[in-house]
Amino acid sequence: MIAEIIAAGSEMLTPFRQDTNSLYLTAGLNDIGISVGFKTIVGDSLEHLTGAARNALLRADIVIFSGGLGPTEDDLTREAAAAALGLTLHRDNEIITNLHKRFAERRIPMPPNNAKQADILEGAVLLANANGSAPGQFLETTFEGKRRIVVLLPGPPRELKPLFDSLVKPKLAAAMPPSFLARRELRMALIPESTVDSRTSPIYKQYADVETTILATAGEIQLHFICAKPTLEEAKARVNAVAEAIEHEMQDDIFSSQGESLEEVVLLMLGMRHLTLAAAESCTGGLLSERLTAIAGSSRYFLGGAVVYSDALKTSFAGVPPEIIEREGPVSDAVARALAEGIRQRTGASIGVSITGIAGPGPGTGADVGKPIGLVYIGIADADGTQVKELRLPGDRERIRWWAAQHALEQLRRQML
Amino acid sequence: MIAEIIAAGSEMLTPFRQDTNSLYLTAGLNDIGISVGFKTIVGDSLEHLTGAARNALLRADIVIFSGGLGPTEDDLTREAAAAALGLTLHRDNEIITNLHKRFAERRIPMPPNNAKQADILEGAVLLANANGSAPGQFLETTFEGKRRIVVLLPGPPRELKPLFDSLVKPKLAAAMPPSFLARRELRMALIPESTVDSRTSPIYKQYADVETTILATAGEIQLHFICAKPTLEEAKARVNAVAEAIEHEMQDDIFSSQGESLEEVVLLMLGMRHLTLAAAESCTGGLLSERLTAIAGSSRYFLGGAVVYSDALKTSFAGVPPEIIEREGPVSDAVARALAEGIRQRTGASIGVSITGIAGPGPGTGADVGKPIGLVYIGIADADGTQVKELRLPGDRERIRWWAAQHALEQLRRQML
């Protein structure tokens, strides 16, 4: 069974807004074994929307509309679906009564336009919307002799998501052969995608019944495995088998075997080893601390630290001797070392981590003259001593800052292995 | 003239990946007066792609494909466009020669599949791709008696963007009536969208020739104005007129009149007033510092500060007396005040800003027991004294942290007005 998702709304045809509902709907459809074959984004025009609906009914078994169910004249999904299917809309009295009640409670007269939210496709089942005034609709019908399922959903994600999960997904699942889906995810940091692919594809290609997707994000590679089987046990066994074979190949390069983020893994390892961490950040300006503290519960292992953007703060907050900064430059092995050791000592943390570098757009100045954009030093100090790593990161300011923080997290993880 | 963008690639029909090229293409098309009427996302199937191409040719004047021009068997855009148009593909010898050269330089024999990158639609103009091996194509043709323009672009953004800008946009502009586009943007922070709309819509509705879009993002409202006129002067005059009328209505609520971010405006104002800033962050864990230091040149006005996640660091880095923390709790007016004053004093900055709060998911503990999730204090200390603002922010950890930083920035801005 193939589904098509039609997102209705002129705002999604501007450079400013994107359809995101379809990602959520796709994940939910995949869960029950339904693939998405097409996505169409169309503006608030009855002609365009009706044409898009007709195309979808010709090529997809399931057509899901999101948006265009509100009360304004731009809300045309009901009319377009009816026109494409050759069905009439009838006005539901119960919904009208409920709408009048809603407005009466707020002591506002109901604008006449609102009544169109009560228009139902002939034969459709109403889907009550707990978070808004427009109900969804679910219709099993035929189009040019073929069985079709048509679903109308409200556009706002906080209305669409619960409505889809509670009312649409079970109905669609009932129409599908019974199938259970298992997922696994492995993550690696700072390894080129081509390296991961050349080492893992000979393995995952042996598991033809498992769908493997490789995603490369900033400084991270994710391997997603999905398998559908008649029983959940069978499906789980297959994704576990491929994940284990790949773990065996990639060993410690894998930081996460259940989808945890690198930040979560670092905090988890700190917790298991009863360690605490503090950070002194120069070029990343708080990004590493921000990423760690975004994780709930991080305060148990991450004490905090200093954003030592100016040279004076490198001295006053992390005890870096001014003569080192003057001699070696703030972006140097020596300063990274002193920052990591200094922040560790000042905070009493078990581990001190430091980042200093040239994020650009301008190259090094003052004592750093001649040093290139992208030169970054990561320092890690613990009871056994201090290690400093020198990096040359390509890209712009944002990329250099992100990758510097990513390297610091990965260094911390490898240090604790 | 209406355009349709067809993004080809099965990965964009998964829950993990989205078509983003179309946002870039839409902005560029709008620049030259072309609206996007439809976007279609379709997988790597010749049948699906050919059907989508045919639908697009029926309903849009300009059809732009992105993706599917590579050398693999999944790259089917050329074949689908040819099938939909009823045209043949012919293999271009010059491209073949160039491909062989590329591979020879890398001392790799060319896999035979690569030759399909040299297949050209009958009558199409080649668009040289400086950043990849697959050239784009531009074809003026007719479909069922109607004039159509068909453009094939490679999928990777770093290939698509320069190719579109340098080779496609000028050709399309030449096919359009001469028109010049002017844009303006106004931004406001922390004001409800409905308030902005009710106060500004009576104004912008008087400018029917200016397209106004209101965008609400996290803690920020943007008003975008676009106007197309036969001369650039006329277009500029109109967007400036509506922007000025709205600036007159909203006054100081507007933080940006040329599209600058709130961070940029705060740094700009610090610079104009010869002031420096330092931050002591608890619940935001470095987010405020990170946002400020993401701006190039911020080091001139932002000295840095401390991430005082633990109580001990609030004392050691910002000099907050432990008895205040014990008595009032770390999330309190008194601690926010002491943090702002302490960080200002320790760093020698003109202004010290502090954020302390309960970001969740758990409520206050220890001396903060009974305080709710979302309680946040922002402190600002300068030569004239210290102000503390208490906030009750709704939402989850991520939202509370973002809005807390947003409030701190907006407080800083208003303080400096």
Residues B314-358: pLDDT tens digits? 999 999 999 999 999 999 999 999 999 999 999 999 999 999 999
Cα–Cα distance for residue pair B343/B320, rounded to 1 Å: 9
The residue in chain A having the minimum alpha-carbon distance to the alpha carbon of residue B10 is A37
Question: Among B11, B41, B303, whose Cβ lies nearest the Cβ of A313?
Answer: B303
Strand (E) positions, A88-229? Answer: 89-91, 119-121, 125-127, 136-143, 146-153, 180-189, 210-217, 220-229
Question: Among A38, A304, A316, whose Cβ lies nearest the Cβ of B346?
Answer: A316
User: Among B20, B61, B290, which would you mutate to test the A interface (most chain A Cβ atoms within 10 Å of its Cβ)?
Assistant: B290
Shortest Cα distance, chain B CAs vs residue A14, angstroms: 6
Q: What is the reported pTM? A: 0.86
Q: How many CA within 13 A on the CB side of residue B375?
A: 16
Instruction: For strands B62-66 and B2-8, give the pairing.
Output: parallel
Q: What pLDDT was estimated at residue B336?
A: 98
Cα–Cα distance for residue pair A138/A135, rounded to 1 Å: 10
The pLDDT tens digits of the residues spanning B350-397 come to: 999 999 999 999 999 889 999 999 999 999 999 999 999 999 999 899
Please give the interface size between A and B, counted as residue pairs whose CB atoms are below 8 Å apart. 207
Q: What pLDDT was estimated at residue B33?
A: 86
Cα–Cα distance for residue pair B99/A299, rounded to 1 Å: 56
**First-last CA distance in chain B:** 46
Closest CA to A63 of A85, A93, A94: A85
CATH class of B2-174: alpha beta
pLDDT band at B295 (very low <50, low <70, confident <90, very high): very high
- In chain A, where the domains are located: 2-174, 180-256, 262-416
The pLDDT tens digits of the residues spanning B153-185 come to: 999 998 999 999 999 999 999 988 888 889 999
Question: Among A24, A27, A347, whose Cβ lies nearest the Cβ of B313?
Answer: A347
Shortest Cα distance, chain A CAs vs residue B93, angstroms: 30
Mean per-residue pLDDT over chain B, rounded: 94
User: Among A302, A310, A331, which would you mutate to test the B interface (most chain B Cβ atoms within 10 Å of its Cβ)?
Assistant: A310
Q: Do B285 and A279 touch (CB under 8 A)?
A: no
Instruction: For residue A316, report the phi and psi dihedrals to the nearest 5 degrees.
Output: -75, -30
Instruction: For strands A62-66 and B146-153, give the pairing.
Output: unpaired
Shortest Cα distance, chain B CAs vs residue A124, angstroms: 27
The pLDDT tens digits of the residues spanning A253-311 come to: 999 998 899 999 999 999 999 999 999 999 999 999 999 999 999 999 999 999 999 99
Shortest Cα distance, chain B CAs vs residue A183, angstroms: 13
Contacts of A278 in chain B (CB under 8 A): 313
Give the tokens for residue A205.
């290609």
Cα–Cα distance for residue pair B122/B172, rounded to 1 Å: 19
pLDDT at B73 over 90: no
Characterize B242-260 residue by residue with b for buried, 16 or more Cβ atoms within 10 angstroms of its Cβ, and e for exposed: bbebbeeebeebbbbbeeb
CATH topology identical between B2-174 and B180-256: no
Give the tokens for residue B395.
């939402």
CATH no. of A180-256: 3.30.70.2860
Q: Write the DSSP symbol of residue A283.
A: T
Contacts of A303 in chain B (CB under 8 A): 309-310, 312-313
The residue in chain A having the minimum alpha-carbon distance to the alpha carbon of residue B23 is A15
Q: Are A221 and A191 in contact (CB under 8 A)?
A: yes
Instruction: For residue A74, report the phi and psi dihedrals to the nearest 5 degrees.
Output: -80, -10
Contacts of B51 in chain A (CB under 8 A): 55, 59
Contacts of B293 in chain A (CB under 8 A): 284-286, 307, 309
Q: Do A13 and B39 touch (CB under 8 A)?
A: yes
Amino acid identity for residue A250 in this structure:
M
Q: What are the C-alpha distances in Å from B318 to residues A118, A281, A287, B321, B386?
A: 60, 17, 20, 9, 15
Per DSSP, the residues of A27-60 read: HHHHHTT-EEEEEEEE-S-HHHHHHHHHHHHHH-
User: Among A290, A316, A331, A344, which would you mutate to test the B interface (most chain B Cβ atoms within 10 Å of its Cβ)?
Assistant: A290
pLDDT band at B79 (very low <50, low <70, confident <90, very high): very high
pLDDT at A105 over 90: no
Q: Do B304 and A309 touch (CB under 8 A)?
A: yes
pLDDT at B413 over 90: yes
> Regarding the domain delimited by A262-416, which CATH topology (the fold level of the hierarchy) does it fall under?
Maf protein (3.90.950)
The pLDDT tens digits of the residues spanning A14-44 come to: 998 999 999 999 999 998 889 999 999 999 9
CB atoms within 10 A of CB B395: 15
Task: Return the higher-pLDDT residue of A28 and A131.
Answer: A28
User: Among B4, B5, B13, B18, which would you mutate to test the A interface (most chain A Cβ atoms within 10 Å of its Cβ)?
Assistant: B13
Closest CA to B359 of B310, B409, B319, B393: B393
Q: What are the C-alpha distances in Å from A179 to residues A33, A175, A182, A226, A376?
A: 7, 11, 10, 12, 50
